[in-house]
Amino acid sequence: MIEFINFYLFPALTIGSIYALGAVGISMIFGILRFAHFAHGDLMTLGTYGILAAAAVMPVNPLLLIPFGMALTIVSALFVDRYFYQPLRSLPTIYTVISSFGIALVFRSVIQLVWGSENQVFSSGVKPPLVLFDTIRVSVLHLQAIVATAVIAVLLHFFLTMTRTGRSMRAVADDPELAEVSGLDTAKVVRWTWIIGAALAAVAGAFAALNTSAHPNLGWNLLLPMFAAAILGGIGKPMGAMAGGFIIGLAEELSSYHWIGDEALISPSYKTAVAFICMIALLIFRPQGLFKGRLL
Amino acid sequence: MELTGLFFYLVSLLILGGIYALLCLALNIQWGMGGLFNAGIAGFYGVGAYSSAILTTAASSKHLGGFSLPVPIGLLGAAVIAGLAGWAVARICVRLKSDYLAMASIGIAEILRLVIVNEDWLTNGSLGLSRIPRPFGDLATGRMSDVVFLGFVWVVVLLVYLASSRLYDSPWGRSLRAIRDNETSAAAAGKNVEKFRIQTFVIGCAVMGIAGGLSAHYFRFLSPTATDPLLVTFLVWVMLMAGGSGNNRGAILGALSIWTLWSVTEIFTNRLPPEWATRSSFIRMLLVGLLLQVVLQKFRAGLLPEKSPPVKFRKEETGSGG
Yes or no, beta carbons of A105 and B289 under 8 Å apart: yes
Phi, psi at B221, each rounded to 5°: -140, 145
Mean pLDDT of chain A: 86
User: At B320, is the pLDDT very low, low, confident or very high (cuts 50, 70, 90)?
Assistant: very low
Yes or no, beta carbons of A113 and B282 under 8 Å apart: yes
Q: What is the ipTM of this complex?
A: 0.86
DSSP state of A120: B
Cβ-count burial A179-211 (b if 16+ within 10 Å, e if not): beeeebeeeebbbbbbbbbbbbbbbbbbbbbbb
Q: Distance from B245 to chain A by nearest Cα, in Å?
A: 12
Q: Distance from B240 to chain A by nearest Cα, in Å?
A: 12
Q: Are B16 and B157 in contact (CB under 8 A)?
A: no
Q: B110 to chain A: which residues are within 8 Å by CB?
A: 224, 272-273, 276
Q: A106 to chain B: which residues are within 8 Å by CB?
A: 286, 289-290, 293
pLDDT recorded at residue A142: 86
Yes or no, beta carbons of A109 and B93 under 8 Å apart: no
In this prediction, residues A253-281 reach a mean pLDDT of 79
The A-side interface with B (CB below 8 A) comprises: 30, 35-36, 38, 84, 87-88, 91, 93-95, 97-99, 101-106, 108-110, 112-113, 116-117, 224, 227, 267, 269-270, 272-273, 276-277, 279-280, 283-284, 287, 296
Yes or no, beta carbons of B114 and A227 under 8 Å apart: no
Alpha helices by DSSP H, listed for B141-227, are 144-169, 171-181, 183-188, 193-219
Residue pLDDT, tens place only, A121-168 = 776 555 666 676 766 777 778 888 999 999 999 999 999 999 988 898
Residue pLDDT, tens place only, A234-250 = 888 889 999 999 999 99
Candidates A84, A277, A283; nearest CB to B293: A84
**Percent with pLDDT over 70 in chain A:** 91
Q: Is A214 helix (H, G, I), strand (E, B) or coil?
A: strand
In this prediction, residues B119-123 reach a mean pLDDT of 83
Q: A116 to chain B: which residues are within 8 Å by CB?
A: 279
In this prediction, residues A108-133 reach a mean pLDDT of 76
Of A194 and B71, the structure prediction assigns the larger pLDDT to A194
